[in-house]
């Protein structure tokens, strides 16, 4: 079993080829982002996307009630169903869900978060309300397994069910990682718009799971969360690949050994 995750920018730039590769297989759970499309729709509606950086250096989307509505509509609806239709057009079978369906992914709402902010020339930390962002606490894989057993590819948007019954925005990389652990996937493939983890312009071919936290400190926001999540999954026995999702056959990285492997 393979869990594949594509971030919004990678997906929007190479959706046809990513979908083609997924449609050829019957062992994939596909988790997708789509933040750029959410930004586009928010701007159409006169809203300004909000991003923050956590105290640990992780960039995240700050989600209030209005933003969550757009997030659910665009990711859980428009984009999710477009991916499903494209898989069907390529001869595959797919069902689009969110983590709230089933429910499959349970998260706890972050009541407060510590963020880094610039004040003049200084960087300060302050506590702000957590909004409608969640940290994943549990994955219930029954629905995913049922779909796969029927020959249907689950296409999962990163929206979880909160412990108080609310919908929550969750990090797509964390969702893919937690799903991979829950289903004991053989591979977790994180598709990006770069060839792998880059240090001084060179691709790092292999990272041991015990080294992941240290490597994460050497890269920028976006890649750091991927490395942290990859390290945690690799400790459970799943092979993790961070590779180029902009190629004609993105999933060929598995056979070719391309990208950065976390083991």
pLDDT digits (tens, 9 = 90+) for 167-183: 999 999 999 999 999 99
- pLDDT value at residue 87: 98
CA-CA-CA-CA torsion sign (106, 153, 171, 35): negative
The fold for domain 2-262 equals Carbamate kinase (3.40.1160)
Asked if 162 and 108 count as a contact pair (C-beta separation under 8 A), the reply is yes
Q: How far apart are the first and last CA of the chain?
A: 17
Question: Domain residues of the chain, as ranges?
Answer: 2-262
Backbone angles phi and psi of 24, in degrees to 5: -75, -15
Stated pTM of the model = 0.93
- pLDDT value at residue 56: 76
- pLDDT value at residue 186: 98
Low-confidence spans in the chain with pLDDT less than 50: none
């Amino acid at each position: 079993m393979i869990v594949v995750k594509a971030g919004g920018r990678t997906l929007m730039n190479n959706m046809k080829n990513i979908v083609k590769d997924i449609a050829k297989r019957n062992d994939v759970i596909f988790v997708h982002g789509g933040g750029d499309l959410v930004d586009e729709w928010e701007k159409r509606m006169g809203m300004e996307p909000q991003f923050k950086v956590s105290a640990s250096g992780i960039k995240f989307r700050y989600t209030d009630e209005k933003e969550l509505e757009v997030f659910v509509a665009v990711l859980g609806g428009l984009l999710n169903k477009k991916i499903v239709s494209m898989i069907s057009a390529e001869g595959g079978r797919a069902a689009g869900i969110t983590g709230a369906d089933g429910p499959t992914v349970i998260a706890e709402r972050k009541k407060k978060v510590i963020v880094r902010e610039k004040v003049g020339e200084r960087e300060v930390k302050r506590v702000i309300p957590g909004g409608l962002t969640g940290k994943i606490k549990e994955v219930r894989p029954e629905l995913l397994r049922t779909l796969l057993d029927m020959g249907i590819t689950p296409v999962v948007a990163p929206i979880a069910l909160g412990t108080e019954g609310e919908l929550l925005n969750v990090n797509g990389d964390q969702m893919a990682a937690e799903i991979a652990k829950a289903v004991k996937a053989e591979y977790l493939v994180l598709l990006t718009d770069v060839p792998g983890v880059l240090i001084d312009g060179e691709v790092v071919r292999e990272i041991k799971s015990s080294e992941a936290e240290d490597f994460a400190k050497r890269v920028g926001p976006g890649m750091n969360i991927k490395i942290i999540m990859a390290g945690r999954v690799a400790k459970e026995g799943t092979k993790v690949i961070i590779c180029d999702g902009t190629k004609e056959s993105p999933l060929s990285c598995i056979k070719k050994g391309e990208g950065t492997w976390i083991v």
